[in-house]
Amino acid sequence: MNQPLNYKFYHSSETAWDALYEAILGAQKNIFWEVYTLIDDTAGNRFMDALCAKARAGVEVKIIVDGVGSLSLSSLATARLQSAGVNIVWHNKFKFDHRPKILFSRLWHRNHRKLLIIDEKIIFVGGVNVEIAASGWYDLHMKFVGEEMAKSLLNSFAGSYVSCGGRKRDVARYLKIKRKKFSLKDSPINFFSHSPSNNLRNPFLLRRLFWRALRTAKDTFNLATPYYAPDVQFLQLISRAVRRGVKVSIILPWRPDLKFMQWVAHTFYGLTRKAGGEIYFLPRMNHAKSFTVDGSLGMVGSVNLTPRSFFANQEVAAFFTDPNMVEDLKGIFSFWKNEAYPLSDVGWGKRGWYRRVREWWMRKISDYV
């Protein structure tokens, strides 16, 4: 008989921060953290203190931060971490280059993952960054406990660490781990680390997993994403699902933190409603990236419904078929929907010519967000 899975959901920035912080304080052997945004502000300073203390106590601490997402991480904080023994590396740290191709590559290819592994058995995966600007946000992070589950993610972290300039010999033991082929049939939980530039055999697998989820839905498909830029095929899949009797619900923040991404999303509201999907708006920022299919499949990760997440970014996600986990996630979606209001309540059809022209322009560039 299988043992119950050891997991927990956190659906706000603050509750996730508290859990991450406590896990770091409890680390005995090693801390491996891959994070898009880590800033030494009033939200991040306690993490700086904890990481330095753990490194000084002899815990192995390795951090991968993104060169754009963590651009505001101060040189003083970086030096403090390094002097305490924390090994910090940067993914595509931004610096000017007169060669346009190199400059574009540095700006375009981002490490958007949010992955923390403690003592090779405690795993946190989701959408939560660490910066004071995210205070008060809804978000979604998951905690799992299990040495076997951590293996493929340790391999993924090690590969990312080396590609960012970390010493290969420091993580050689994890690079030897053989990654399992992604399959939703073999295990109740599967982790997928996505790196399009390194996954030449199957660079569009992550996108296909999303599309497959909607294609196979029978009753309900719930999606939460802060940034919404679907392609034509996704809209067609919504239409087909609705004709099959599937209720498609998409939960978005009414005002996301990035104004430009709000303009892009405006482009697709009418098209989504025309396809039969229902859009719900939360009055506060929701940074969660997640979906549920019926009562059979759930996903929590760092993946936005945008072309960048599917084709350019390094991402990580947990896919699970355990019915208890899926029901718990559906409960979070129900809570959000009770807090939200539908598109029909905001008078979308009455917007003026200026907004319609702007939507036309945003649609032209939506493949690049």
Evaluate whether 358 touches 263 at the Cβ level (below 8 Å).
yes
| 254 phi-psi bin (left φ>0, alpha ψ -120 to 50, beta other) | alpha
- Does 86 lie in the same domain as 37? yes
The per-residue pLDDT of the chain, averaged, comes to 89
* Region of residue 179 (left: phi > 0; alpha: psi -120 to 50; beta: else): beta
Does 18 lie in the same domain as 131? yes
Length of the chain, please?
A: 369
Whether the pLDDT of residue 302 is over 80: the answer is: yes
Q: Which residue has the tokens 């609705």?
A: 242
The answer to whether position 192 is within a domain reads no
Please classify residue 5 by burial: count the beta carbons closer than 10 Å to its beta carbon, then call 0-12 exposed, 13-18 middle and 19+ buried: middle
Residue 69 and residue 93 in contact, taking contact as beta carbons nearer than 8 Å: no
Query: pLDDT by residue (tens digit) across 32-83?
Result: 999 999 999 999 999 999 999 999 999 999 999 999 999 999 999 999 999 9
**With 90 as the cut, is the pLDDT of residue 267 above it?**
no
Q: What is the pLDDT of residue 1?
A: 39
Whether 168 and 250 map to the same domain: the answer is no
Within a domain: residue 186?
no
78 in any annotated domain? yes
Q: Residue 69 carries which side chain, given as an amino acid letter?
A: G
pLDDT value of residue 337: 95
CB 147 within 8 A of CB 120: yes
When pLDDT is cut at 50, 70 and 90, the band that residue 105 belongs to is low
- Identify whether 196 is part of a domain: no
Indicate if the alpha-carbon torsion angle 32, 37, 41, 43 is positive or negative. Answer: negative
Same domain, 106 and 227: no
Dihedral through CA 252, CA 254, CA 258, CA 262, nearest 10? 80
98 and 226, same structural domain?
no
User: Would residue 197 count as lying in a domain?
Assistant: no
Position 363 pLDDT exceeds 70 = no
Do 157 and 216 lie in a common domain?
A: no
- Does residue 330 share a domain with residue 218? yes
Question: What's the rounded mean pLDDT across residues 150-166?
Answer: 94
Q: How far is residue 159 CA from its own chain's centroid? A: 19
Note whether residue 189 is domain-resident. Answer: no
Q: Would you state the pLDDT for residue 361?
A: 54
15 and 102 both lie in a single domain: yes
- The alpha-helical segments, DSSP class H, found in the chain are 13-25, 45-56, 75-84, 100-108, 147-163, 172-175, 205-216, 232-243, 259-275, 307-311, 323-339, 353-365
27 with 73, same domain?
yes
Asked whether the beta carbons of 227 and 362 are under 8 A apart, the reply is no
Distance CA 239, CA 235 (A): 6
- For the beta carbon of residue 101, count every other beta carbon within 10 angstroms: 8
Confirm whether 244 is domain-assigned.
yes
Q: Comparing 192 with 195, which gets the higher pLDDT? A: 192
Domain that holds residue 11: 7-179
Question: 179, 214, 247 — which closes off a domain?
Answer: 179
Query: For the chain, how many structural domains are there in total?
Result: 2
User: What's CA 324's distance to the chain center, in Å?
Assistant: 22
Q: Which amino acid is at 160?
A: S
Q: Are residues 346 and 265 located together in one domain of the fold?
A: yes
Q: What is the pLDDT of residue 5?
A: 81
Are 144 and 218 within one domain?
no
Tell me the C-alpha distance between 62 and 64, whole Å.
7
161, 179, 197 - which closes a domain: 179
CA-angle at 165, arms to 110 and 34, nearest 5°: 50
The encoded tokens of residue 184 equal: 């939703």
Residue 117 has pLDDT above 50, yes or no: yes
pTM, two decimal places: 0.92
Give the full edge-to-edge strand order of the sheet including 141-145: 7-10, 141-145, 122-126, 114-118, 30-35, 60-66, 87-91
- CATH number of residue 303's parent domain: 3.30.870.10
Residue 103 pLDDT: 58
Retrieve residue 137's tokens: 């946000």
- Tokens 């770091």 correspond to 24
200 within domain boundaries: no
Q: Are residues 170 and 75 in the same domain?
A: yes
Token digits of residue 361: 């322009």
